A and B are shown apart, each in its own frame.
Chain A
Amino acid sequence: MQQKMQQTFGITIEGLSKRYGSGNAAVDALKDVNMTVAPGEVVGLIGPSGSGKSTLLKCLGAIIEPTAGRMTLGEEVIFDGGWKISDLKALRRDKIGFVFQAPYLIPFLDVTDNVALLPMLAGQPNAASRRRALELLTALDVAHRAKAQPSELSGGEQQRVAIARALANQPPVILADEPTAPLDSERALSVIRILNEMAQQYQTAIIVVTHDEKIIPTFKRTYHIRDGRTYEEAGEGRAL
C-alpha cells in the first residue's frame, strides 16, 4: 500500500515538523504536517502570515532541514528523519521547480537562456537546452519574446517565463510561492490556468502558496495551514 502511494503521488509528506531554536526559545513552525499531491494536480496552500507557509515551502524545497517526518518525491524518499539525498542542490535543480512571488529572472540573460539555464546546469547540451526552452515558451505563448531581455517583458510575460523556467527540467514537483501576488485578476487567473495546463501536460504536482482571494476558488483541493498544522479541504475547482 505504501509502495502504491509513493507511485501514485507526486509528493507525499508525513508527520513533518520543524522547530526553530531550542529550550525555552524553541518555536514549532510546523507540527505533524501531512500532505499529498498527485502528478498533474494543482493544490493550494493557504494561510495567514506567520502560519508556517514559507517554512513548509522551504522544507519541501530542500532549503531548510525539517526536524522530523518523511518526504517522498515520486518513488524516492528524500527525507526520513534526515536527508536521504547528499546533493540537495542537484535535487532542487532536477526534481523541484520554483515559481516566486516576483519572477526573479536573471536580468543579464535573455528569455530563452533564462529558461535554458536549468537544463544547462543539469549538464544538457546548449542546443538541446534551448530547444527545450523554446518548446516551453511556445506552450506558454511567450515564444515571440524569446530573444527579449527580462526588463522588456510585462509582468504577466515575466511570470510565464518563470513558469517555463520551473518546468525546464521536467521536475515532478513545482513549488509556487504567491505567483499571482503582483498581477491583476485577469493575469492572475491566466497564470493559474497555465499552471493547471502544465500540470496536466507534464504530469507535475504543483503546490501554490497563496492568500490571493481571486485564485483560491480555482483549486479543487486546498490545504489550510494555521499555527504550523495543515487541514485538507475540498476546493471549489471553479472553471478557469
Chain B
Amino acid sequence: MINLAGRDILHSWGKFAFTGLGLGLLIGVTLTMAGVYRGMVDDAKVLLNNSGADLWIVQKDTLGPYAESSSLHDDVYRSILGLPGVAQAANVTYLTMQVRRGDTDVRAMVVGFEPGQPGEPGYLTAGRQITRSHYEAVADVKTGFQLGEQIRIRRHDYTVVGLTRRMVSSGGDPMVFIPLKDAQEAQFLKDNDAILNERARTATNPSLNRPGVPGLLEAIQASQASNRNVNTVLVRVQAGQSPEEVAAPIRRWKHLQAYTRVQMEEILIAKLIATSAKQIAMFLVILAIVSAAIVAFIIYTMTLGKIREIAVLKLIGTRSSTIAGMILQQALGLGLIGFIIGKVAATFWAPAFPKYVLLESGDAISGFIAVMIICALASTLAIRAALRVDPATAIGG
C-alpha cells in the first residue's frame, strides 16, 4: 500500500519544510528552556563539586552559605579540626559583587580561600594557583579576564595568575578566587570616611573611652576596623568516614549547622532555584500548549485544503483508518521535522546564552516523545473533520 502521508509530504515539501521550520524554532525555544533549568541545576552541582568539601559548617539556623547569609568566627575551624573523622577544615568566604575590568563591571562571586585547602579551585586551564598571601587572583574564563590582567576589588588591585573553567555560583556568576584575608577585608571593609566617623563616635562614647584605662579605646577601634568572620568552614572527612556521622557532633556540641553534600544539594536545587524552576516549568507548559495549538491549526488547515481529495478517497472506498492514518502520519512527520530543526537550533544557539544551558540527551528524548504525543493529539481535530467529510461532496449536485 502506498504511504499517502509520505507522498503528500514529498509533493508539498516546501510547505512542510517552512511549517516545520516555524514549529522547529518554537521547539528549539522549548528545549532551550529545559536546558536553562538543567544549566541551573548543573551550576549548583558544579559549585558543590568545585568546593571539594564533604561538609559545609555554617551559622546555626541558617541555610548558608549559598542560599542564606552565614557568619562564623574564623577560628571555629580549629575546633572542627579536632573532631574525630575530620581530615581537613578551612575557612571560606563568598561575596557576589561587581568587580572592575577596565572601564566595565563584571558580575562575579569573589571567593576567599586558603591555598591547598578545601575551597581552592580544583583545576586550572592556564597559569598557576595563588602562592602569595595578598593581591593575586584566579578567575573563571567567563569573567573575560586574561592572565596578567588587574582586577579591581574594593580599593585593591589583584593580578590574575591563573584561569579556571566552570567555576560558577549557583546563580551562574563566574568566580574570582582571592586569598582569604583579602576576601575578609573586601567583604567587611568600610570606606575611609566611615572608618573616621566610627572612630570619632567610639572616642566620644564615655563607656568605651574611659579615663584611666589606657589602650582600651585603641583596642576597640582596632576591632571595629578588622574582620574575623567567614561565611563557612568547608570540611573534608577522613577516608571511610560517613559525613553524616561527622556532622552530628558538630550540630550537637558546636552550636553550628553542618550540611552534608546531599543536604546542600537539596538546599540549592529544591530551595534556592525552586522558584526559577517553577517559572521555567510554566514557560514549558505554555510553550507546549502553543506548539499543540499551532500543530493542530496547521494540520487542520492542511486537511481542509484537501477536503475534495478526501471526499474522493472516501467515495472510492478508502477506509476511515487509512485517511486517519494519513493525517496522523502527517502530523507526526511535521513534529519530526520540527523536532530535528528545533534540536539543531537549540544546539547552535545554546552557547550564546550568558548563563550555562545544558542540553541533555534525556531531555531531548523526552521532548521528542512529548512532541510526538502533542502532534498526535493535535491531529485529532483534523481527523474528526476529515472523517465527517461527506463522500457525496465529490459528486456535487
A, B in one complex: yes
From B8, B308, B390, A104 is in contact (CB under 8 Å) with B308
Q: Across the interface, which residues of B come within 8 angstroms of A27, CB to CB? A: none
Complex Cα spacing A177 to B396, Å: 9
- Contact between A118 and B11 (Cβ–Cβ < 8 Å)? no
B214 at interface by CB-CB < 8 Å: no
| Closest A residue, CB atoms, query B314 | A89
B118 at interface by CB-CB < 8 Å: no
**Chain A nearest CB: distance from B302 CB in Å?**
12
Decide if the interface of chain A is mainly helix, strand, loop or mixed: helix
- Contact between B395 and A177 (Cβ–Cβ < 8 Å)? yes
- Contact between A120 and B1 (Cβ–Cβ < 8 Å)? yes
A160 at interface by CB-CB < 8 Å: no
A214 at interface by CB-CB < 8 Å: no
Q: Across the interface, which residues of A come within 8 angstroms of B194, CB to CB? A: none
Interface-located stretch among B91-99, B173-181, B315-323 = B315-323
Complex Cα spacing A100 to B318, Å: 17
- For A, the interface residue count at a CB cutoff of 8 angstroms equals 33
- Contact between A58 and B11 (Cβ–Cβ < 8 Å)? no
Interface-located stretch among A74-82, A105-113, A218-226 = A105-113
B309 at interface by CB-CB < 8 Å: yes
A190 at interface by CB-CB < 8 Å: no
A240 at interface by CB-CB < 8 Å: no
Interface-located stretch among A1-9, A49-57, A134-142, A230-238 = A49-57
- Contact between A120 and B2 (Cβ–Cβ < 8 Å)? yes
**Chain A nearest CB: distance from B377 CB in Å?**
25
Q: Across the interface, which residues of B come within 8 angstroms of A94, CB to CB? A: 317
A44 at interface by CB-CB < 8 Å: no
- Contact between B395 and A61 (Cβ–Cβ < 8 Å)? yes
| Closest A residue, CB atoms, query B392 | A63
- Contact between A126 and B1 (Cβ–Cβ < 8 Å)? yes
- Contact between B396 and A101 (Cβ–Cβ < 8 Å)? yes
A-B contact count (CB 8 A): 82
Q: Across the interface, which residues of B come within 8 angstroms of A107, CB to CB? A: 11, 309
Q: Mark A117-132, 1 if CB is under 8 A from B, else 0.
A: 1101110001000000
Q: Across the interface, which residues of B come within 8 angstroms of A121, CB to CB? A: 1, 316-319, 322
- Contact between A92 and B316 (Cβ–Cβ < 8 Å)? yes
| Closest B residue, CB atoms, query A94 | B317
- Contact between B312 and A57 (Cβ–Cβ < 8 Å)? no
Residue of A90, A92, A104, A149 with most partner-chain B CB within 10 A: A104
Q: How large is the interface on B (under 10, 10 to 19, 20 to 34, 35 or more residues)?
A: 20 to 34
Complex Cα spacing A209 to B74, Å: 102
Complex Cα spacing A57 to B396, Å: 10
- Contact between B1 and A100 (Cβ–Cβ < 8 Å)? no
Complex Cα spacing A116 to B2, Å: 9
Complex Cα spacing A58 to B394, Å: 10
**Chain A nearest CB: distance from B7 CB in Å?**
5
A85 at interface by CB-CB < 8 Å: no
Q: Across the interface, which residues of B come within 8 angstroms of A122, CB to CB? A: 317
Q: Across the interface, which residues of B come within 8 angstroms of A58, CB to CB? A: 392, 395, 397
Complex Cα spacing A63 to B309, Å: 16
Complex Cα spacing A54 to B392, Å: 9
- Contact between B391 and A63 (Cβ–Cβ < 8 Å)? yes
**Chain B nearest CB: distance from A37 CB in Å?**
18
B10 at interface by CB-CB < 8 Å: yes
**Chain B nearest CB: distance from A132 CB in Å?**
14
From A98, A108, A116, A126, B316 is in contact (CB under 8 Å) with A98
A93 at interface by CB-CB < 8 Å: yes
Q: Across the interface, which residues of A come within 8 angstroms of B394, CB to CB? A: 98, 100, 104
**Chain B nearest CB: distance from A191 CB in Å?**
18
- Contact between B392 and A108 (Cβ–Cβ < 8 Å)? no
| Closest A residue, CB atoms, query B11 | A108
| Closest A residue, CB atoms, query B9 | A108
B313 at interface by CB-CB < 8 Å: yes
Q: Across the interface, which residues of B come within 8 angstroms of A89, CB to CB? A: 314, 317-319
Would you give 20 A-B contacts (Cβ < 8 Å), ordered by A? A61-B395, A63-B315, A63-B391, A89-B314, A92-B391, A100-B394, A104-B394, A106-B4, A106-B309, A106-B313, A108-B4, A108-B8, A108-B12, A109-B2, A117-B2, A121-B1, A121-B316, A121-B318, A149-B11, A177-B397
Interchain residue pairs A-B with the least CB separation, the first 4? A54-B397, A93-B317, A108-B11, A108-B8
Q: A58-B392, A92-B315 are in contact. List 7 more A-B contacts (CB 8 A).
A: A55-B397, A63-B392, A98-B395, A100-B312, A117-B2, A118-B317, A177-B395
